[in-house]
Structures are given as structure tokens and as C-alpha cells.
Amino acid sequence: MQVKKKKEIRAYYAALSRAWGPQHWWPAESAFEVIAGAYLTQNTSWANVEKALANLRSAGLLAVEGVRNVPVEELERLIRPAGYFRQKAKRLKIFIDFLDSKYGGSLTRMFASPTKRLREELLNLNGVGPETADSILLYAGNHPVFVVDAYTQRIATRHQLLSERARYDRIQDLFQEALAPMVDSPVLRKESKSNELILPKQFPNTAHPPSPMSTAKRTALAQIYNEMHGLIVGVGKHYCRKSQPRCDECPLRTFLPSPK
């Protein structure tokens, strides 16, 4: 059964990749912008995060040095559009303190740490759960970890890959084990790196414009995890909605289990 599920997940990747092409995740100009976005996107929409990031960018503060030196009250004001601004400002400051004390303020040194150790360190920071930690590791640090979000859990549940009570690490393990063999598949690896964007009329354009971080050099496995997460977000936003799902229009409709 597990072998069948993993094969099906690889088929999802192939179908979505052919339909939508590269997703150019995570859209950002720098590694720190990815980190800030990972904090700010908690409990809010990405549209609100973009407003907060734009404020930081306009103020010249969208960098480690900027958040380190700005008074917390000013930081709160700038990120207010993202909601929970006092809490998030505090958490960003805590991250900077961690970076300074543990890695001399260097993101390069931080991301040179082994994945398991760095993940544990991030999870020990206030306000960092598995999804935030893994987003930082994958999208900012090129560490090969698959990011599980609410869309992933919803799709896995509705396609009967896992129970709706499945824990984060269980979902992550299944997707990582399913996708890892693609590194050795020339056909699938080519699809994951293709620059061609194929958009049949019935599918929306879910991709972001290319950015310095989305086009940065990655290991093959990190790229596959990156693309799969971006593709899943496209499915979740446009088709596998929490209420009123559009299953008949979804590019994964042929994989849905038959109704009992």
C-alpha cells in the first residue's frame, strides 16, 4: 500500500508539472526576505505579507542589519499589515538575537549547519513551528526538507493517502520518501528543471515571476521538494478548497478515489 501511495504522489508531481511548469517558489530577493516572509505569513494571507515586506523594503530594513537595528515599535508599525504585528516583531527580533549569538549574524554560517541540528535550533525559537522551520530551511537555505502545509494535509486526506489526523512528520516522511527517487529519474528530473511553462486554458497560472531566490542554484532534491510544494499550493488555492472544492476541474481529478 505504501509503495502505491508513493507512486501516486510522484504521478501528482508529473501531472502538475506538465500542466503548470515551474512555480518559482519562494518569490524573494534575498534569503532574509524568505525568512521574514516565513514568519509574517503565519495566520494571514500572502497578500498581507507582501504589504508588510514592501514596507520593510521601502524603509531599507529588509535585511538582518535592518531588523537588528530598528526599534521594535517601528518594526511593529511596518509589519502591521501582516497582523499579529507585536507578536511577529518580537519573534523576528528573537531570530536575529539567535543568529547573532549562535552564528555571528551570518546566514551563510547558519545554513552551513547540518539540517537536523539547525532544524532543532529553529524549532526551539519562539513562534517557529515545523512549517516555518522547514520553509526557512528549504527556501532560504537549500536544505532538502519537504514543507507540509494545510493544503498538503487536505489533499492527502481527500485522496486517502493519509488520515486527517496524521501528524506533520508522518505526512512529511511520506512525501519525502515518495519524491526522493525522482532525483535518479532523468525524465522527472528534466520536468522539475524545465523552463517551459505549459498552461492549458482550463488551468490558472499559479506561478510567480522568477526572482533571485526562486531561481537560485539548488540541489536536485531541494528543487523537487520546492516545486512540489509550490504545485500543491496551486491545487489548494484554486481547486482543493476547504469548502466548495472544485474537484471536477482539478488537474488531479483522475487520481481521486472512487466514491464508495
What confidence tens digit (pLDDT) does each residue in 37-49 have? 999 999 999 999 9
pLDDT in the model for residue 206:
64
**For 235-246, how does the pLDDT look when each residue is reduced to its tens digit (9 = 90+)?**
999 999 999 999
pLDDT in the model for residue 202:
46
Average pLDDT over residues 54-74: 98
pLDDT in the model for residue 198:
39
Q: Tell me: pLDDT of 75 over 50.
A: yes
Burial bucket for residue 205 (CB in 10 Å: 0-12, 13-18, 19+): exposed
Q: What are the DSSP calls for 4-43, one per residue?
A: HHHHHHHHHHHHHHHHH-----S--SSHHHHHHHHHHTTT
- Measured between alpha carbons, how far is 252 from 213 in angstroms, rounded to an integer? 28
203 vs 68, higher pLDDT:
68
pLDDT in the model for residue 120:
98
- Confidence class for position 14, pLDDT limits 50, 70, 90: very high
pLDDT in the model for residue 61:
98
Do residues 64 and 99 lie in contact, with contact meaning Cβ atoms separated by under 8 Å? Answer: yes
**Dmax over Cα atoms in the chain, in whole Å?**
60
pLDDT in the model for residue 258:
75
Do residues 151 and 233 lie in contact, with contact meaning Cβ atoms separated by under 8 Å? Answer: yes
Report yes or no on whether pTM surpasses 0.85. yes
Choose among 82, 81, 55, 84: nearest CA to 70: 55
The domain locations on the chain are 2-26+146-255, 31-140
Choose among 55, 113, 110, 118: nearest CA to 88: 55
In terms of CATH architecture, what is 2-26+146-255?
A: Orthogonal Bundle (1.10)
Choose among 40, 61, 60, 43: nearest CA to 51: 40
**For 245-259, how does the pLDDT look when each residue is reduced to its tens digit (9 = 90+)?**
999 999 999 999 876
For the chain, percent of residues with pLDDT exceeding 70: 91
CATH code of 31-140, in short, is 1.10.340.30
Question: Which residue do the cell numbers 484554486 mark?
Answer: 238
- Measured between alpha carbons, how far is 174 from 2 in angstroms, rounded to an integer? 8
Question: Distance between the two ends of the chain, CA-based, in angstroms?
Answer: 19
